[in-house]
Every structure is written in C-alpha cells, then in structure tokens.
Homo-oligomer: A and B are copies of this chain.
Amino acid sequence: MERLACYDCGETYAFGDAARCRCGEPLWFETDTTEFDWPDASEASGPTGSGVSLGRDTLWRYESVLPATEPTGLAAAAGGTPLFRAPSIEPADGPRIHLKVEGVNPTGSFKDRGTAVGICRIDGPVGTVSHGNMALSVAAHAAAADREAVVLVAEDTPDSRLAMIAQHDPHLFRVRGDYGRLYDDTLDGDLGAAFLNSDAPLRVAGQKTVAYEICEAFAPDAPDAIVLPVSSGGQASGVWKALRELDAAGLLSSVPRIYLAQAARCDPIARAYRRGDSCVEPVEGEPTVAVSINNADPPSGNRALAAVTETDGGVVSVAEETMIAETERLAADAGVSVEPSCAVATAAVRELAASGELDAADDVAVILTGSGYKYGASEADTSSVREVDRADVPAAVRDAMR
C-alpha cells in the first residue's frame, strides 16, 4: 500500500518522497485489488431496492484497499452516501438517472472522503488551497482530530464562505496574488503542514470510494456510465482509479464510461477533449455561477482527460442558464438542493441524451458533489411566497391547490 506510481510515465516513489511525479503528473497510491471482493457480497441489493442500504455503511467498508485504517469520530462518518433513481428528472427516451447524493457527508460535500482518509494517514498539521468545499472539509476534520490546519483562500472569497470555514478555527489566510500558483507553492512542503490538495495521492485514494459505492450498489452488474463535475481533476482521477481497481478484481461486468461536466465559461478539459489532445492547456476562464469548479488550469487535467478517453466517455461544456435551470429542476422535481457546480452533471446527462450518446438502455450514476443548502442563503428568491392573514389561510390554500 505504500508505493506511489505515476499513471503516465510509470515512475514509482515511496510515500513521502514526492508530491508529484518528476514528469509533472500527479501520483496514485498503488493498490492491489486482485484479491478484493465486495464486503458482505451476499448483501448486494442493486439499485432496484432503495439503493441506499449498502452505501450507507461509510467508506471504511473498503478499508482493505485504503492507505489508512478506520478511525473513530468525524472521519469515520465520511462516505456511505445515498444512491437512488430519480425518474422525475430523466429526459424522455433518455437513460435511467441514479443520483449519488454526496451532500450528506459530514461537511456537506464529497471532499470529506479524501480529507477523512488523508487526515487518518498523516500526523501533524494539515493544509489546503481552497475557498470552498475542500477548505470547509479540511478545517472541520482537523478540528475533530485536534490538528492545526492551514487554509489558503483566494483574495475574492466572499465573507459568508470564510465565516463557515472560520468556525472550525483553522489558520485562515486570504492570499493576494496569483491564486493558481499557490497550489504549486504548497507542493514542496516547507510550509510546515501536509497539504491535502485536490489531487494529493491520499485525497484521491479517499475520493475513489464514491465509485466503489456506486459500483457495489449495482453489483453484480455495473452502471453504463458515471457522470460528474470536473474542476482540478482530482475526483475524476479517483473515479477512474477505482474502476481500474474493480476491473482488476473482476468485479465489473463492464467498465462504466466516465463523462465529465464543465461550465462553458471555464472548460479547459472539454476544449482539449474536443481538440482530441491528451494534454490540457490553461484557458482564460470567465466568471461563472459554477464557482466551485471554476478552474482554468486544472492540475490533474491530463489525468481527467485520460479517464474519459480510456473509458470511451466524454467531456461536456454547459451554458450558464442551463446550469441554473438544472439547479432549480433538481430542487423542485427531485427534492435535492445542490450548487450549480453540481447540477452541471445532470445537465450534461440531458445533453448527452439529446445527442444520443446516452439512451433509454443506459443506467447512469451522477455524482452530486455537494449540498446547496450551505450557500443557499446567499441567493434569496422569495418571489413565490404569498402573504396572507391567518383567517384567510383555508381559502388561500384551497385556491393554490385548485
């Protein structure tokens, strides 16, 4: 479990010797899953049941293929998120959509998986370069584990997000200057903290468990596709790593195609995909409502691109108004509140169905990366609220439901 390897050039390192491969690509923990089988294989119910019971057992059910041992406390509660079908948002003649609701993780996002595994594996102070879900996750888990945490946020991070992070009492710095370069600054490790950035090997090892849960819920079959938002590429890297491991273990009837979704206003990976390139070039991104995935120079972009091409998937760019409409659809029709950065994934499914890439024969698992409740208060739309006197309530209600 202790060796790190570069998917791209094959170079290997001992854990702790390198943050990235000397070829520039991120590293993966090597995992031998050839002997791995589903825990309690007999329990497999498949998505026809509630689709929940298996997953709700937390990510630690996969401890045997993780570079950390099951802890107690908050980190023990990561993962094990619900997976259920949502017919109400399925396009006509389109695929069956199964929602993987990551917002029910302890800090409301998928980031808790990588944070939980990382913080259990390393000692001492931890850190991260993030102003969103990852910053909140690292700050909270560090507080729970009684560790010092360093959180470096961008200069333009709104106070409401900072306050949410600050409650967990990390060393919180709002950094002036090129925020993109900060990621590189933290790699050499002389900051006195182990940085659990988006594609750090330990984080990717934890993030992969969402794909383990999805595939186990479908066992002995497998979903036809897994669709997720992409920003740095760290989660896409984790999903692909999991599929490679499960395939090696002989646990996939077929390897799901990986589809990634980006905001059209900042879509470096989608552009490289359309060009047919294997390398992602930085773009001049524009501001987008999908703030959590607004990454113009993704550090694991090449890895994410490889995940897509090697599984015959694709990358979709989604327009602003489409993301906003999809966010509203998920809340109003599926009862799930998400950020636009997350709704971009089901919007992508809609576009892939329209183009015929996904059809009625497909089971698609969509990773809804984070809860919309955390940031909901910032965009208050109360236009649908009706004012009424108590005495007039019966008439008003009857009228509304006519």
A residues contacting B by CB (< 8 A) are 49-53, 56-58, 60-61, 70-74, 76-77, 80, 82, 84-86, 88, 101, 104-108, 125, 127, 136, 140-146, 148, 150, 152, 159-164, 166-169, 171-179, 181-182, 185, 190-193, 328, 331-337, 371-391, 393-394, 396-398, 400-401
Measured CB to CB, the nearest residue on chain B to A155 is B387
Contact A88:B146 (CB < 8 A) given known A181-B390, A393-B175: yes
Which of chain B's residues have a CB closer than 8 A to the CB of A177? 389-391
Considering the chains assembled together, what is the distance between the CA atoms of A104 and B105 in angstroms? 6
* B57 engages A57 (CB within 8 Å): yes
Contact A335:B143 (CB < 8 A) given known A76-B51, A173-B388: yes
Which of chain B's residues have a CB closer than 8 A to the CB of A88? 144, 146
**Which of B173, B181, B374 interacts with A376 by CB under 8 Å?**
B374
**Which of B58, B161, B337, B377 interacts with A375 by CB under 8 Å?**
B377
Which of chain B's residues have a CB closer than 8 A to the CB of A163? 376-377, 379-382
8 tightest A-B CB contacts, nearest first = A144-B335, A177-B390, A77-B82, A50-B76, A160-B377, A163-B380, A143-B335, A169-B332
Considering the chains assembled together, what is the distance between the CA atoms of A178 and B393 in angstroms? 12
Which of chain B's residues have a CB closer than 8 A to the CB of A382? 159, 162-163, 166
Considering the chains assembled together, what is the distance between the CA atoms of A20 and B179 in angstroms? 60
**Which of B50, B57, B85, B401 interacts with A53 by CB under 8 Å?**
B57
* B57 engages A86 (CB within 8 Å): no
Identical subunits present: 2
* A393 engages B84 (CB within 8 Å): no
Given A51-B72, A57-B57, 11 extra CB contacts under 8 A: A50-B76, A144-B335, A167-B331, A167-B337, A169-B384, A185-B390, A192-B397, A192-B398, A371-B373, A375-B377, A377-B378
Instruction: Tell me the minimal C-beta distance from A388 to chain B in angstroms.
Output: 5
Q: Could you show 11 A-B contacts with beta carbons less than 8 Å apart?
A: A136-B373, A143-B331, A150-B401, A162-B385, A163-B382, A166-B382, A172-B386, A173-B386, A174-B385, A175-B388, A176-B388
Instruction: Tell me the minimal C-beta distance from A165 to chain B in angstroms.
Output: 9
* B84 engages A73 (CB within 8 Å): yes
Which of chain B's residues have a CB closer than 8 A to the CB of A76? 50-52, 82, 84
Considering the chains assembled together, what is the distance between the CA atoms of A172 and B82 in angstroms? 28
Among A159, A164, A387, find the residue whose CB has the most chain B CB atoms closer than 10 A: A164
* A387 engages B176 (CB within 8 Å): yes
Measured CB to CB, the nearest residue on chain B to A79 is B56
Instruction: Tell me the minimal C-beta distance from A133 to chain B in angstroms.
Output: 11
Instruction: Tell me the minimal C-beta distance from A369 to chain B in angstroms.
Output: 15
* B166 engages A381 (CB within 8 Å): yes
* A74 engages B335 (CB within 8 Å): yes
Instruction: Tell me the minimal C-beta distance from A40 to chain B in angstroms.
Output: 10
Among A178, A181, A192, A335, find the residue whose CB has the most chain B CB atoms closer than 10 A: A335
* A176 engages B331 (CB within 8 Å): no
Measured CB to CB, the nearest residue on chain B to A334 is B144
Measured CB to CB, the nearest residue on chain B to A141 is B335
Contact A160:B50 (CB < 8 A) given known A72-B85, A389-B177: no
* A397 engages B193 (CB within 8 Å): yes
* B84 engages A401 (CB within 8 Å): no
Considering the chains assembled together, what is the distance between the CA atoms of A123 and B338 in angstroms? 27
Which of chain B's residues have a CB closer than 8 A to the CB of A400? 150, 171
Considering the chains assembled together, what is the distance between the CA atoms of A52 and B75 in angstroms? 10
Which of chain B's residues have a CB closer than 8 A to the CB of A80? 52, 56
